[in-house]
Structure 1
Amino acid sequence: MTSPAGPGSSPFDHRMAVFGSDDEFLAQALPFVAEGLAARHEPPPVVIAAPGNLDLLRDALGPGAGDIGLLPHTEWYTGSAANAIAQGAGYLAAHAGPGGRIHLLMEPVWGGRAGRSPRESAEWIRYEALANLLFAPLATTVLCAYDTRVAGATVVAAARRTHPDCAVYEDPLRIAAELDAVPLPPPPAGAESVPGPAPAAGAVRTWATGRGLAPAEAEVFATAVVEAAAALGPVDRTLLWTDGPACVCELRPVRRVDDPLAGFVPPRDSAPGQGRGLWFARQVCAYVDVRDEPGGTSVRLQYG
């Protein structure tokens, strides 16, 4: 999914629509759908949006709506921003035309997980920015729909910087660096240290169950920690602590993590190396934060 080409030379067409009324939504959605229906070598367009907006489209299109995929966005955006990337990659692989050709109108659930906190919203802005790199090789056309009645002015302004058709668009890596410049709170004084150059699954699992995680969840958390550590290489330090109901692990790998896309790219089954375990960790953890600090890199996994 990755490509050295920047968005300017990419076939990936990543657009943004901002609306504040039903009429404004239709004024932008209907031409986009018509464009997708007219595109050669493409399957019919797909609209992933709020149920009310899907009803508006059905009414406006009449019988023509039968050729279009209409999916409630609560059935698509069911987890973290990293989950949404995986969902998109899997859908394109299974349903898009040659070279990833398809028109997708996508409206995040800003009234749900994506908008529930500034931290969560920031992760979705990261997803929007990195999509320009992650999907760069694909001739997919995406219209990201932002309802100002739900998303709010701050989120919309940040999202404009992640869409190449906006005048304020900025380099995705610059946006990711800005998000990573926000310091994480330091580990608490009572954080538990796990010995060894790599944490043992049994030790992490036992610790997690002792902090209230169900055995199955403790197993997932332990697997995420172990696989992330294996992908990062030897670690100087592993710390475990709780943050409310969440279990947190911070890994301090010996080497730096230089790839800003580490853990966002689906691994090939036979591809070893950095990023493989981070992909799994990003899929099951609420947050995976990678920070370059004066003493090296820290990788923090928060489960729950």
Structure 2
Amino acid sequence: MHDALIYDDAAQLAEVAAPWLLAGLAAGDVAVVATGPDTADALRAAVGDDPRVLFVPRHELYRSRTPTAISAFRRLADEHAATGSRARVVGEVDFGASPADWREWQAYESVINAAFADAPLWGLCVFNADLPAPLLATARHTHRRWAGPTGWAPNPDFVEPDAYLRALPVPAEPLEATVPTLVGDAIGDHVGLRHAVRALLDGVEGPPDVLEDFLMAVDEMTSNAVRHGTAPAELRLWSAPGRLVATVSDSGSGLDDPFAGYGPAHGADLSRGGMGLWLARQLCDHVTVRHDDRGVHVRLSTSWS
């Protein structure tokens, strides 16, 4: 289950979430809190510092990228499923600072309805009422039920994940309106292109691990476009101080599954492949898939300071 609470202040949040956590403990569930520090402090006081409530730093579960967060929550659920218990989690996403950051986590809030449909996990996502309007709209559209002081109620504004994800806007990327630093047209040899990307990145001043991750993501997506897409496959790559953006395109209609890349395509059997987009989502800050009359376009971007 995946429910939501929009709160005006910490006292209101604690009034709803603390009894829910304690009721879970009484029923044999595991209680977990993964929120911002102010929210965690309010809940810790409201449960009377009960040692059975596990307070986890938000970044340890949500991580910095959405597939990693999904994997972390799945491990949490699996750990407790083995003992016959269920995990109740009060979670508070850090949506980040930019519309591109927001979109990653807006998609996550919808994806997990499908990702955890059969998992022994009951999530209560909490949203500060001061969040920007698009994020509060996400709360309304990605949770089947509302939580409040008088109990839980169905959410009439819920949108099924497939429809929500397909309609979620892709923010504009200003660099795409400029001249690319590297162009690869009609890619036939993605290995040779990888060497060209490597040479370009060798001249970029940035953290070596970030640059290596970006190289791997570009390589995965160009390989995927050549092997599984419709020719011609193309690459456009932009480099700016502290930022890299690449768009990999082909002329087909693949990657039409809105859930693609939020887990390996063939589950735990990684030998069967299907990991390209999943890896890219873990290696880059932002990954979007767009379709138009020219084909499919995967945009990758990474920033550092």
Q: TM-score range by the shorter chain?
A: 0.7 to 0.9
- TM-score normalised over the length of structure 1: 0.83
Cα RMSD of the aligned pairs, angstroms, is 2.5
Question: 1:249 & 1:269 partners in 2: Cα distance?
Answer: 29
Aligned to 1:84: 69
SS at match of 1:288: strand
Aligned to 1:33: 21
Aligned to 1:135: 116
Letter in 1 for 2:285: A
Question: 1:230 & 1:36 partners in 2: Cα distance?
Answer: 47
Question: 2:188 & 2:177 partners in 1: Cα distance?
Answer: 19
Q: Residues 180 and 290 of structure 1 are in contact (CA less than 8 Å); yes or no, is this contact kept in structure 2?
A: no
Are the structure 2 counterparts of residues 119 and 100 from structure 1 closer, same or farther at C-alpha, using a change threshold of 3 Å?
A: farther
Whether 2:182 is the aligned partner of 1:192: answer yes
Question: 2:177 & 2:218 partners in 1: Cα distance?
Answer: 16
Aligned to 2:218: 225
Whether 2:202 is the aligned partner of 1:204: answer no
Question: 1:67 & 1:214 partners in 2: Cα distance?
Answer: 40
Aligned to 2:259: 261
SS at match of 2:138: helix
Are the structure 2 counterparts of residues 285 and 139 from structure 1 closer, same or farther at C-alpha, using a change threshold of 3 Å?
A: same
Offset of 1:283 from its aligned partner?
Answer: 0.7
SS at match of 1:34: helix
Question: 2:219 & 2:139 partners in 1: Cα distance?
Answer: 34
Shifted more, 71-80 versus 117-126: the winner is: 71-80
Shifted more, 214-223 versus 13-22: the winner is: 214-223
Whether 2:135 is the aligned partner of 1:155: answer yes
Q: Residues 22 and 47 of structure 2 are in contact (CA less than 8 Å); yes or no, is this contact kept in structure 1?
A: no
Question: 1:260 & 1:100 partners in 2: Cα distance?
Answer: 31
Whether 2:11 is the aligned partner of 1:23: answer yes
Shifted more, 125-134 versus 177-186: the winner is: 177-186
Whether 2:97 is the aligned partner of 1:107: answer no
Per-residue Cα deviation, 1:153-177 (whole angstroms, up to 9, x for no partner): 4422321110011221111122211
Question: 1:189 & 1:47 partners in 2: Cα distance?
Answer: 46
Identity %: 29
Are the structure 2 counterparts of residues 26 and 176 from structure 1 closer, same or farther at C-alpha, using a change threshold of 3 Å?
A: same
Letter in 2 for 1:59: A
Letter in 2 for 1:192: L
Aligned to 1:251: 248
SS at match of 1:45: strand
Are the structure 2 counterparts of residues 230 and 239 from structure 1 closer, same or farther at C-alpha, using a change threshold of 3 Å?
A: same
Offset of 1:181 from its aligned partner?
Answer: 5.9
Aligned to 1:178: 167
Per-residue Cα deviation, 1:222-254 (whole angstroms, up to 9, x for no partner): 111112333444361122112442112211135
Aligned to 1:10: none
Letter in 2 for 1:272: R
Offset of 1:82 from its aligned partner?
Answer: 3.4
Are the structure 2 counterparts of residues 73 and 258 from structure 1 closer, same or farther at C-alpha, using a change threshold of 3 Å?
A: same
Offset of 1:66 from its aligned partner?
Answer: 0.7
Offset of 1:286 from its aligned partner?
Answer: 0.7
Note the residue ranges of structure 1 that are not aligned, 5 or more in a row: 1-12
Offset of 1:118 from its aligned partner?
Answer: 2.4
Whether 2:232 is the aligned partner of 1:240: answer no
Q: Residues 180 and 291 of structure 1 are in contact (CA less than 8 Å); yes or no, is this contact kept in structure 2?
A: no
Question: 2:261 & 2:84 partners in 1: Cα distance?
Answer: 23
User: Would you say how many aligned residue pairs link Structure 1 and Structure 2?
Assistant: 283
Per-residue Cα deviation, 1:243-275 (whole angstroms, up to 9, x for no partner): 44211221113542121111101453434243x
SS at match of 1:173: helix
Question: 1:228 & 1:101 partners in 2: Cα distance?
Answer: 37
Aligned to 1:119: 100
Are the structure 2 counterparts of residues 193 and 173 from structure 1 closer, same or farther at C-alpha, using a change threshold of 3 Å?
A: same
Aligned to 1:6: none
SS at match of 2:142: coil
Question: 2:91 & 2:301 partners in 1: Cα distance?
Answer: 27
Question: 1:176 & 1:99 partners in 2: Cα distance?
Answer: 33
Question: 1:116 & 1:277 partners in 2: Cα distance?
Answer: 27
